Amino acid sequence: MDNVNGAKSSGISRGLVFLMAVTCGFTVANVYLNQTLLVSMGNTFHVTAAQAGIIATLAQVGYAAGNLMLVPLGDIFERRRLILNLLLLVCLCSAAAALAVNFPWLVIANLLLGFFTIIPQIIVPFAAGLSSEKERGKVLGNVAIGLVCGILGARLISGIVDTQYGWRTMYWITCAATIIIMVLIRFYLPKSKGANTVNYGKLLSSLGPLFLQEKVLRKACLSQGLMFGAFSLFWTTLVFLLSDPPYSYGSQVAGMIGLVGIGGAFATPIIGRIIDSKGASFANTLCMSLSLLAFVLFLAGQSFLIAIIIGALLVTMGTQANQVACQAIIFQLSAEMRSRLNGIYMVSTFLGGALGSYLGVLAWTNFHWIGVCVLGIIMIGIAFTSLITSMSPAQEMNAKS
């Protein structure tokens, strides 16, 4: 467990969990707010929908790269200072995006914004280290509420701001919000000390062998990578579906559906309790089933807004709760390497997300909504097959012990 000033080994306070959840929500939003803004940004710089989709793709590629190169630093550096430095860089990148004078500038700003805004993935293993083993699933589930609210709230707020004031204003708002978060972190987040003294080069070189050594980690990466890929292709292409007949809505409506999806955030504490009582393998199966059902609903009810809304709720519940289930598995592997484990895991997750965003735009361009739905079903089906045709994570952990 991390050596944290003022922290007790018996658990973590509700106030600190709330601060961590809020910080995760406000920071992770930077990766997703562009998805609702794609049409407007494309119109500003006179690019096609497929070209505008590169913004969403590269923001997630940047996030994956940040997880690989920056998140492992949580094992060797004091986390509060690391988080504050990253928040400052996030603030600068948001301002750069707001000031973009051409499309390449905007793309690069979003790539760097994704790269530096990996604060949630430093906080999550921090929370796992502070919590007792019996309550770890519940704590991770509560912190994940902030993540889901940030992901979907970003779409809601950015849609409204874009409609009323334009997409540039949204980036100025995120810049200001980041400054407020910096103040809260400075005064309320406790200091920590990494458990390892290895240098940065050795830290990064340990990631590959760690991934190859731990089958449980590889399975978790595949599971959530494909699940999050399906999740991302839905949210990236939703604004295109709603802007065409029979809907013909603007970006604000896509954001409003994101508000419905926030309800899925409250599935994560439930999944956390299921993990603590019935195991993460059972939770994996349940989560994948919800997401698969969502895409079947999208396909069958593409002309009915109520079907899209219900599906959005289900796919959010399934994807975000599955993330908690997989993290609960990998954090059992080593307390001293939780940042590295989480870094590898989130690289796979957001590479899957970037792939989903990219393939989603291609599927929409060539096959429209039917292609998007079929692709989502295939991705979840592959993840499901990998789970049920091999040893479950719970069985693997029992075998190791």
pLDDT, tens digit, for every residue of 338-397?
A: 888 888 898 888 788 888 988 998 999 999 999 999 999 999 999 887 666 554 444 444
pLDDT confidence bin for 239, thresholds 50/70/90: confident
Residue at 1 is within a domain = no
CATH number at residue 54: 1.20.1250.20
Q: Do 96 and 83 touch, CB atoms closer than 8 A?
A: no
pLDDT, tens digit, for every residue of 261-313?
A: 666 666 677 777 777 777 777 878 888 999 999 999 999 988 888 999 999 88
Average pLDDT over residues 319-337: 82
| Residue 193, pLDDT score | 63
CA dihedral (216, 220, 226, 227) in degrees, to 10, reads 140
Q: Which domain holds residue 46?
A: 14-192+203-392
pLDDT confidence bin for 202, thresholds 50/70/90: confident
Checking if the pLDDT of 8 tops 60, the result is: no
User: How many structural domains comprise the chain?
Assistant: 1
Residue at 76 is within a domain = yes
Query: Does pTM top 0.85 for this prediction?
Result: no
Residue at 397 is within a domain = no
Q: Could you give the CA distance from residue 360 to residue 373 in angstroms, rounded to a whole number?
A: 9
Residue at 377 is within a domain = yes
SS (H, E, C) the chain: CCCCCCCECCECCHHHHHHHHHHHHHHHHHHHHHHHHHHHHHHHHCCCHHHHHHHHHHHHHHHHHHHHHCHHHHHCCCHHHHHHHHHHHHHHHHHHHHCCCCHHHHHHHHHHHHHHCCCHHHHHHHHHHHCCHHHHHHHHHHHHHHHHHHHHHHHHHHHHHHHHHCHHHHHHHHHHHHHHHHHHHHHHCCCCCCCCCCCHHHHHHCHHHHHHHCHHHHHHHHHHHHHHHHHHHHHHHHHHHHHCCCCCCCHHHHHHHHHHHHHHHHHHHHHHHHHHHHCHHHHHHHHHHHHHHHHHHHHHCCCCHHHHHHHHHHHHHHHHHHHHHHHHHHCCCCCCCHHHHHHHHHHHHHHHHHHHHHHHHHHHHHHHHHHHHHHHHHHHHHHHHHHHCCCCHHHHHHHHC
| Residue 296, pLDDT score | 95
Residue at 3 is within a domain = no
Residue at 269 is within a domain = yes
Residue at 6 is within a domain = no
Output the CA–CA distances (angstroms, integers) from residue 253 to 157, 200, 290, 298, in the order listed.
11, 45, 24, 17
pLDDT confidence bin for 11, thresholds 50/70/90: low
Residue at 9 is within a domain = no
